[in-house]
Structure 1
């Protein structure tokens, strides 16, 4: 098994496949619920007509054709297709930040591995694409159980580099994954929100259902620094020596403006958005998120 097995620890597998008894019910209900939703797999589309034969189900007779031609024809449909879930994971340098149990990169990869595990357990198909300003790894959408190892290997990026170019990635994903399905984007979104929102719009226009996991560290959300501090850019060679207390108010104001743009862009494009701290327990995050998704689709 590749080094990326660290993204799916045995204890994590137990928690995530179970997510305690209630959460397990949520996950299984959520995934089967997706099969009943027009936004997810299990769609049945008309394919062609064929002449009626004795024993055919009369429910499939096209009575409009019979009225015009006085002959019985059966409507044939394409085979039901399962959920196709594609994971788009940001592995750029800014994702390496973190001093707690998990960096943003480790946390994002654990989310991706967990969702891949759940989707494959449901015998549905999952694919994966890791990126910074370009695609770093691409895994086709497959449903075999051992496909999890290909997904995990794609997440194992040892030398991330460059900035995030989300519009280019999302635009490319439209071509990489042309069949309608679920797109799960996992990123810290430390980029201009306008091109990102443009990319979301493109995915939605192609009929994809889109989830956005916005992963951030507590430090980025709270800016708790005090005393003389040196800040170094993870995606540039720039640095800043300063007293962070003088920056805190302006930083938090700029952050809230950025988050507001992201939330608004997701809402305008009917994208499910969740802001997640790396300090949040992953199993609880997934249970809450899937529960909210299930409840939303039951209301629709």
Structure 2
């Protein structure tokens, strides 16, 4: 099994099994890395070495991966993890064999599985046209399976959720939450940035995973000369060969502006290309986040 290829994970139709496979790959690659901070929180897992105190073996991790891990430090946390999924029409953008929403649901499932394994409550918001789906945060495997079901049921269409539907955000749990937003950051005006302002105003820690297709990054659409906006239906003609340099310069400026906007709002940001393995994306991000928090 080639775990460096995202197609490996997306070919697994059972979302629970895919999540476990991603997390097992993440944990295997983690080894001596140290991840700290509220939500998804632990001090260190490492491989068992002869002479280690057997009291610190993590038997649940053994049951999932058939490998022995020592959990070096237990850290208590009562911060729930809330996954936010952009289900607007632009998330139907396809690169190769799969769409952004496919990558989003598998990445979210892995994060939920990891959080639940750490003892964190997990919840879900799905931002879809005409409303906001809300699954309250809980910590047990029955709830985790319910969350997987709702991830599998997501249908993308239309524009991003309008602020009038945000009432559940304001009336939810009073506990501080770690909010992980998986989105392509496509917005007509500033609706997603405005949402981030709302989320950070509630004193939650916010992480944004920004999904982009490799074909978007390189303006490589395999001979197509007309592109369609998946939310508005508007079309534009392109000549990729003559426009690529100008496009990539504009994209670079756009991404730089996004990073600045995230930094200004104290939002953790990472752009993920969909040809990147989910477990590697997760590992790189958590290591980066740990360095920032050190």
Deviations 1:39-81 (A, max 9, x none): xxxxxxxxxxxxxxxxxxxxxxxxxxxxxxxxxxxxxxxxx86
Q: Which residue of 2 aligns with 1:245?
A: 241
List alignment gaps of at least 5 residues for structure 1: 37-79
Shift of 1:24: 5.7
Q: Which moved more, 1:20-29 or 1:215-224?
A: 20-29
Contact 2:107 2:278 in 1 (8 A): yes
What TM-score, normalized by structure 2, do the two folds share? 0.74
Matched ranges for 1:211-230 at <5 A: 211-225=207-221, 227=223, 229-230=225-226
Secondary structure in 1 aligned to 2:266?
A: coil
Q: Which residue of 2 aligns with 1:13?
A: 20
Aligned-partner Cα distance in 2 for 1:168–1:254: 32
Q: 1:257 aligns with which of 240, 253, 258?
A: 253
Q: Which residue of 2 aligns with 1:118?
A: 114
Contact 1:134 1:165 in 2 (8 A): yes
Deviations 1:142-164 (A, max 9, x none): 00122111111222346421112
Q: 1:127 aligns with which of 123, 126, 130?
A: 123
Deviations 1:205-237 (A, max 9, x none): 221000000011011111024756222221123
Q: 2:184 aligns with which of 179, 188, 199?
A: 188
Q: Which residue of 2 aligns with 1:288?
A: 284
For these two proteins, the number of residue pairs brought into alignment is: 251
What TM-score, normalized by structure 1, do the two folds share? 0.72
Secondary structure in 1 aligned to 2:192?
A: helix
Aligned-partner Cα distance in 1 for 2:42–2:164: 30
Matched ranges for 1:1-300 at <5 A: 6=13, 8=15, 10=17, 12-23=19-30, 26=33, 34=41, 82-157=78-153, 159-165=155-161, 173-192=169-188, 194-225=190-221, 227=223, 229-297=225-293, 299=294
Secondary structure in 1 aligned to 2:157?
A: coil
Q: Structure 1 pair 192/150, CA: closer, same or farther in 2 (3 Å)?
A: same
Aligned-partner Cα distance in 1 for 2:286–2:83: 16
